[in-house]
Amino acid sequence: MSAPAELAEYISTVKPPAADAVHPLLQRLVDAFGAAWVDAGNVDAWIAGGGDRVLLFAGDPVRFPEGLDVAVVLPELQACYPGRFVIGVARRPGDEALARRFGSQRWPSLMFFRDGQYVTVLPGMHDWTDFVAEVGRALALPPGRAPTVGIPVVAAGAAAPGCH
């Protein structure tokens, strides 16, 4: 067999990674820390599970490498608040639509829920001390409405309804 033929045979056996392949650091959250995979099919049941819940929107690790940083520190943040919250990981694909449902537009993000209700979102990666404090603040907030609920969408330049 000639070198080009061997190369062609080898190339034909190599499979590209699946577009929805799970990064090992995200899988680690599920395997080692009891996180749940969350998608459009189970998000309502997961949120309704009771107590405080933190859903990680890591996004595409190539476009948003900070998402993997958040995945690494999330169990440490959980350890700072023992027994206070459970972790979910937004499953790709479909995480973008799920994030939009709750008004999240930044990647990565931690979205907080309590007893079936939206609380807040904490976008981005932070310095450790700030991150611990921000998670503490989020856990202290009362449930509220997700930013997309009840907010009218008006095209740019269009007259907004009002009292004047």
For the chain, percent of residues with pLDDT exceeding 90: 73
Closest CA to 121 of 23, 53, 40, 73: 53
CB atoms within 10 A of CB 14: 6
For the residues 53-62, what does the mean pLDDT come to? 96
Predicted confidence band at 15 (pLDDT cuts at 50, 70, 90)? very low
From the list 73, 59, 55, the residue with the least C-alpha distance to 131 is 73
Nearest to 70 by CA among 118, 117, 127, 119: 127
Confidence of residue 156 (pLDDT cuts 50, 70, 90): low
What's the rounded mean pLDDT across residues 141-160?
A: 68
Q: Give the whole-angstrom CA distance, residue 51 versus residue 53.
A: 6
Question: Within the chain, where are the H helices?
Answer: 3-13, 24-33, 43-47, 66-80, 95-101, 128-140
- The whole-model pTM stands at 0.79
What confidence tens digit (pLDDT) does each residue in 39-51 have?
999 999 999 999 9
Question: What average pLDDT is seen over the chain?
Answer: 86
In the CATH hierarchy, which fold is given to the domain comprising 19-140? Glutaredoxin (3.40.30)
- Give the contacts of 113 (CB within 8 A, at least 6 positions apart): 47, 52, 53, 54, 55, 119, 143
| Residue range 71-127, pLDDT digits in tens | 999 999 999 999 999 999 999 999 999 999 999 989 999 999 999 999 999 999 999
Q: Count other Cβ atoms within 10 Å, centred on residue 68.
A: 17
In this prediction, residue 56 carries a pLDDT of: 98
